[in-house]
Structure 1
Amino acid sequence: MAEDLPDEFDVVVIGTGMPESILAAAFARIGQSVLHIDRNGYYSGQWASFSLKAIEEWVKESQAPEEVYTSEVKTDGEQVMLHLKDNSYQKHKLQFHISDPEPELEEKIEAVNNIADGSQENDSNKITKSGLDQDPGDNVEKEKEKSEPESTDLNQAQTSPENLKEVTEANESNENNVESGMQNSLEDKPPEPSPNVDNGASDVKDTKFTTEKPSSPLWTESKLRKEWRKFNLDLSPKLLYCGGSMVELLITSDIAKYCEFKTVSRMLTLMDGKLKKVPCSRADVFSSKDVSMIEKRMMMKFLTFCVDFEKHEEDYKEFMEKPYKEYLEHQKLSKNVIHFIQHAISMTSDSTPTPEGLKKTQKFLHSLGRYGNTAFLWPLYGSGEMPQSFCRMCAVFGGVYCLRTPAASLVVNSDNVCTGVVMKTGKQIKCKRLVMENSYAPDSYIDSVSNRLVNRGILVTDRSIMAADDPHQLSLLRIPDNSDEEHPTTLLELPAASMMCPTGLYVVHLTKEANNESQSPEESLQSVVTKLFKDSDTDSTSEDGSPQIVWSLYFQQKINVGGQSSSAPSNMILVPGPGPEIDIDHAVTIARKIFEEVMPGEDFLPRPPNPEDIIYVDEEETQVTQDSEKTEFSETCQGSGDNSSQTTQPDSIDNDHADQSSETKATDGSGKSDVPSNSSDIQNSAEEISESVEKCVIEEKTEPATS
């Protein structure tokens, strides 16, 4: 494949992560020729999502040693070798917490699963029969709602937030999802329809009938492996603020049409060893039973202040250099309110400065209510879909993509300028500019190799951490660590409705930044796992209600925060990988800053033209049309330039023309003439024009004399 590529591009982008993909789309959008390559056989790099089988293969590849490569290609400059393997991951531990039973027990387990499946069918039949006691017309309407998705009128949705939902029923989970098109809905003003968003807050609470849920089927290792295609497990899960820079970029660039989202409908917090729902909006605050009436007024007053806190600098001027937590205590807020604001709304630590804490609180409040009663969106099928959406835009505007195409070395000339890239196959490609993810770069190109460590855990559980009427809600939880107050643990729970796992299971992502490598990722996250989940050795039938872990993966990621060194080529740009933050806006900030420095004055990912508005014209036709226009214009100019004969003898010319027209009319026996019927009008107009020209000439001659 690499041998068939052109020999030269304006920009070569190495790595298909989030910042690289945004930059590739931005360069291609302004007409630059872009080659986008990746050493992996999948898109998104460190931002990727894997199936159950693929993530097992990824673990094996990450643990394998890096290949030693020696280039034998002759180039005009010095060759600088690149990394052929991503060395950012270490300390992997993958484990199945369930096993296949003994042969004599398999029949019993199958019988239990069949009973569970049969009871679900019986419950659905009971529900259908219970509806027969009602009006038959209502039953017909309900059957239509089950078989056909409800459509949402965007014009009505602007005035009625309840109508922003489009309900569809999933075949396997019998769930109600809410979807609307992001391409059109993101452009409306709040309250707005969501960007292809499934609103997790369904209408389950309003259901008039309820049924007992049967015991969930028993999961075994072999059954879990059979469902491997239904998993989408993220290496670096990221959310989108509804009012953040990523959503705005998706709107302005029209890339929203490539994405689908579901709302994170439940913000949780851990207080006194119990999970509680965080009141975020005005309705949640006043309906919450965990906050007293006085605390509700305190909270609403402070949140109202945070919406436009820049206008009241005198209120927090004394705390500019102090932690945000001290400012919250200075506002005489209660302990519960401080906990909600610090750990759930602003998601700050004890050392976060006050201005930064106020800014994060404001960002949360500006995002709240734009696409439902939530501040966050989750991309369906995983956050690994986000880089791919920008890759599609780059390809639309001529970008060339090659996976499994590792770049072995860079060609650098004597002026410290990268002139090209040498592939592992020996193919050499010239370029004017190079964008590269820093895991590819040699250590000499990074200013200070100071790594931040992030411990990550991916768990697959059999139930939610907090039971609810709607089992398909996405939950976000931030848990402070008493032993490490600066680095709390972020927990993101994703149900089957988020397209991350099979029905009946949940995917839980744990993220925690570490100070050093003394602890393994499992040890670092063990305190949270112990509080919320059931131990693997505990009987799954215990009545404590804690989720049972059926599969887990722990690993540690090194994030290089060093800048680009002076020894790096002047036309090369290094971009970082994903950090410990839960939102994706940081990648947009990096890409925009780089693009504006490299291409000053150019628009950053403007909206592409509508294909229906593009007019395609043949080049030959355009040339003929231009030539004919030039000929007519030149003849007109020549006729107007010969004004002496026209002005001195207008009567004779017009009279001759009139005589010719009369003779033509007389010889036409059929009464029809080649001369237009309004020839007399043309003659009169010519006489009037000549008289006006003579009059203007006389006035110009007499004007100096009178003055």
Structure 2
Amino acid sequence: MLDLNTLDGSSWDVVISGTGLAQAILALALSRSGKKILHIDKNDYYGGPEAAFSLQEAEEWVNKVEQVPNSMPFESASISRPTLLDGEKSQLSFARAYTLSLSPQLLFSQSKFLPSLVSSKVYRQLEFQAVGSWWVCRHGADSESDSQSTKLQRVPSSREDVFTDESMSMKSKRSLMKLLRHFLQQGQDGDVEPDQELDQEMLFQEFLQTKYRIPQELFDPLLSLSLSFKSIDKTHSTHALPNIKRHLGSIGVFGPGFGAVLAKWGGGAEFSQAACRACAVGGGIYALGRGIKSVDVISDDSEGEQLHIHLTDDESVKSKYVVGSAWDLPQQIQKERELPYSRLTRAIMVVNSPLDMLFPPTSENGPIPAGAVVTVPSAKGGPPTYLLIHSSDTGECPTSQCIIYGYVLLPADEGRTMLESAVDNLLKSTDANAKIIWSANFTQLGRLEDEKVADNELKGIHDQTFVFPAPELDLAFEDGLIDQVKEVWKAILGSEADESGFLKFDDREGMVDEEEPSENM
């Protein structure tokens, strides 16, 4: 029987390091396999790069990013609070009134991630809310007064939106309707252009101009639907078009007038914790505050080749397999990375206004959304800035406030300036009295959408070690993550793996997966 006060000398089938989304989904997939699973995390919280924090926890996290460089896929982190005048009180509520997510990504109804949440029954532990309107916020000179003005435009993404948009000319409407009709007729089979061969190098701007004669005024709205972090003249059609198809094909599946949702109470952290709870119910053992220092390969006549794993608390365990992310495993068992990581400048901002105008009903009989997407084009032709706005209905902040999650593909200093400018322009166009009352700025390291991960890249330097890549830098949950988890799951189970049963579970008899993972070690 395992001594719950120590792990030293224990043996396992699988040791999973880190509780990020990929590791948590793998733990879920293995939860009913009968394998002995030890799931550890060097941090004292769940979620890894998908974690969610209170205000105090967020500030502790920022300090850790700065004090322990290269320990996670984040860098250049800082906190900013407004200077208070004498006698002025902060408008921030108590620390636990906030849940700030490192992973507030969108989940589309056409996402590959969704069926796995349903078939594994994890969705029952989650609460989803609608992400409603897409907006473009432009800032520039007013032609009549020569003054600087900000204009907020709702992005049309359905026939109804196009017909009711009074800002577009009839010519623009006809061109846009032709493009939307083309996407909707293609269905969701994943092909970009089934009826005509598309040049793999064709840029999105060229596609719009040459194939559909889309006027320039619609470039920014269409780029926003593609969720590309690059400018339209650097975005490839092969990446933009499937994303727009996903957006259009998702509308109406969950409810009228919207196609994406967010997870209440903390985004990706909710997915990770729900998956870890399911593994704990299946017998998995959890231990926070313990990482892996080194791994040795040993030969044991009775059990064959095993891994000797040295933990950061100076204990050691044995296991047949070790799995983790690049930031949760020692470099000694990882293959050398060929390409540098891309860097995305991000911000989490608390605003002292609900910004209600960004959350109109999704349709005449639709729900009031809890999320909105705002794209702020660069005035100099650079990459766009994206702002995900979460209302207090998400449970992430008090009533009468909202959270803005900002993203821009620029270096840290330049990116932070761009994010501040974008939010300033948005607030001017929605609520002139609104102010940022707290913000965290940081850089995330990861992969862009054109950097795919081959199955053979998931292995470490040993056949029994597996390394999940850095997360894809995206505003929506990465579809490829499920495929990565499946490959590792198949390798661990070997001949026992039945692909048709991957993440497909029947209800447990007389049991509901709502227990917290054990942390008593």
**Range into which the TM-score falls when normalised by the shorter chain:** 0.7 to 0.9
Deviation at 1:293, TM superposition (A): 3.9
Q: Name which of 20, 31, 34 aligns with 2:37.
A: 34
Map of 1:584 onto structure 2:
477
1:409 aligned to 2:303?
A: no
For the residue of structure 1 that corresponds to 2:357, the secondary structure is coil
Q: Of the candidates 206, 210, 213, which is equivalent to residue 332 of structure 1?
A: 213
Per-residue Cα deviation, 1:164-199 (whole angstroms, up to 9, x for no partner): xxxxxxxxxxxxxxxxxxxxxxxxxxxxxxxxxxxx
Distance 1:442 1:420 in 2: 13
1:360 matched residue in structure 2: 243
SS at match of 1:29: coil
Which one of 154, 157, 173 corresponds to residue 280 of structure 1?
157
1:86 Cα deviation after fit? 2.0
Question: 2:134 aligns to what SS in structure 1?
Answer: strand
Task: Establish whether residue 549 from structure 1 lines up as the match of residue 433 from structure 2.
Answer: no
Residues 1:477 and 2:370 aligned together: no
Q: If each structure's helix is expressed as a fraction of its own residues, which one has the higher value?
A: 1
2:389 is matched by which residue type in structure 1? E
**Separation in 2 of the partners of 1:606 and 1:380?**
24
Report the alpha carbon displacement of residue 530 of structure 1 after superposing the two structures with TM: 4.0
Question: Alignment partner for residue 132 of structure 2, among 265, 284, 287?
Answer: 265
TM-score when normalising by structure 2? 0.81
Shift of 1:33: 1.8
Secondary structure at 1:409 match in 2: strand
| Contact 2:137/2:426 (<8 A) preserved | no
Distance 2:287 2:75 in 1: 27
Partner of residue 363, structure 2: none
List aligned pairs for 1:71-90, cutoff 5 A. Answer: 86-90=71-75
In structure 2, the residue matched to 1:377 is 261
Listed as ranges, the gaps of 5+ residues in structure 1 are 67-84, 107-219, 535-541, 615-707
Contact 2:50 2:102 in 1 (8 A): yes
Moved more, 567-576 or 428-437: 567-576
Q: Say if 2:78 is the partner of 1:60.
A: no
Q: Residue 425 of structure 1 corresponds to which residue in structure 2?
A: 313
Whether the 8 Å contact between 1:410 and 1:418 is mirrored in structure 2 is: no
Partners in 2 of 1:356 and 1:328 — Cα distance?
A: 14
Aligned pairs, number: 468
Higher RCO structure (Cα 8 Å, ≥6 apart): 2
What is the aligned partner in structure 1 of residue 222 from structure 2? Answer: 341
Whole-Å separation in 2 of the counterparts to 1:612 and 1:5 = 34
Q: Could you say which residue in structure 1 is the equivalent of 2:106?
A: 239
Q: Can you list the C-alpha shifts for 1:332-368, whole angstroms capped at 9, x where unaligned?
A: 1233334322223564743333233322221112211
**Deviation of the 1:306 alpha carbon:** 1.3
Map 1:454-493 to 2 at 5 A. 454-464=344-354, 467=357, 473-483=370-380, 485=382, 487-493=383-389
- Which residue number corresponds to residue 321 of structure 1? 201
Q: Is the 8 A contact 2:132 2:369 kept in 1?
A: no
Equivalent residue in structure 2 for 1:390, among 247, 269, 275: 275
Matched residues in 2 for 1:594 and 1:323: separation?
34
Task: Say which of 482, 489, 505 aligns to 2:401.
Answer: 505
Deviations 1:472-521 (A, max 9, x none): 64210223335463x4222101111111101111110111223x56x365
CA distance in 2, matches of 1:263, 1:472: 5
- CA positional deviation for 1:305: 1.1
Query: What is the rounded CA distance, in whole Å, between the counterparts of 1:271 and 1:289 in structure 2?
Result: 17
- In the alignment, the residues of structure 2 paired with residue 268 and residue 464 of structure 1 have an alpha-carbon distance, to the nearest angstrom, of 16
| SS of residue paired to 1:3 | coil
Q: Distance in 1 between matches of 2:355 and 2:511?
A: 51
Counterpart of 1:363, as a letter, is R
Q: Is the 8 A contact 1:417 1:569 kept in 2?
A: no
Cα RMSD after superposing both structures: 3.2
Q: In 2, Cα distance between the equivalents of 1:428 and 1:568? A: 20
Greater shift, 54-63 or 20-29, is seen at 54-63
**Cα distance, 1:292 vs structure 2:** 3.5
1:98 Cα deviation after fit? 4.7
Unaligned runs of 5+ in 2: 140-149, 361-367, 513-521
**Residues 580-630 of structure 1: CA deviation (Å, up to 9, x unaligned):** 20111343232234334544642211122352699xxxxxxxxxxxxxxxx
Using the alignment, how far apart are the partners of 2:264 and 2:203 within structure 1?
36
What is the Cα deviation at residue 413 of structure 1? Answer: 3.5
Which range moves more in the overlay, 369-378 or 603-612? 603-612
Conserved in 2, the CA contact under 8 Å of 1:367 and 1:374?
Answer: yes
Aligned equivalents of 1:520, 1:298: Cα separation in 2: 36
The Cα shift of 1:87 comes to: 4.5
Alignment check: 8 A CA contact 2:132 2:258 kept:
yes
For 1:5-404, what aligned pairs fall within 5 Å after superposition?
Answer: 7-65=10-68, 86-99=71-84, 101-102=86-87, 220-221=89-90, 223-224=91-92, 226-271=93-138, 273-309=150-186, 313=193, 316-317=196-197, 319-330=199-210, 331-345=212-226, 347=228, 349-372=232-255, 373-383=257-267, 384-404=269-289
What letter corresponds to residue 475 of structure 1 in structure 2?
A: A
Matched AA of 1:380:
K
Cα distance in 2 between the residues matched to 1:460 and 1:271: 22
Tell me if structure 2 keeps the 8 A contact 1:269–1:344.
no
Instruction: Provide, for residues 632-687 of structure 1, a one-character-per-residue CA deviation record: whole Å limited to 9, x for no partner.
Output: xxxxxxxxxxxxxxxxxxxxxxxxxxxxxxxxxxxxxxxxxxxxxxxxxxxxxxxx
Which is higher, the Rg of structure 1 or of structure 2?
1
Q: Is the 8 A contact 1:316 1:327 kept in 2?
A: no
Partner of 1:525: 419
In the TM superposition, what is the alpha-carbon distance from 1:5 to its structure 2 partner? 7.3
Q: TM-score, normalised by structure 1?
A: 0.61
Q: Could you tell me which residue of structure 1 aligns to residue 146 of structure 2?
A: none
Matched, 1:437 2:325: yes
Greater Cα offset, 241-250 or 348-357: 348-357
Letter paired with 1:99? L
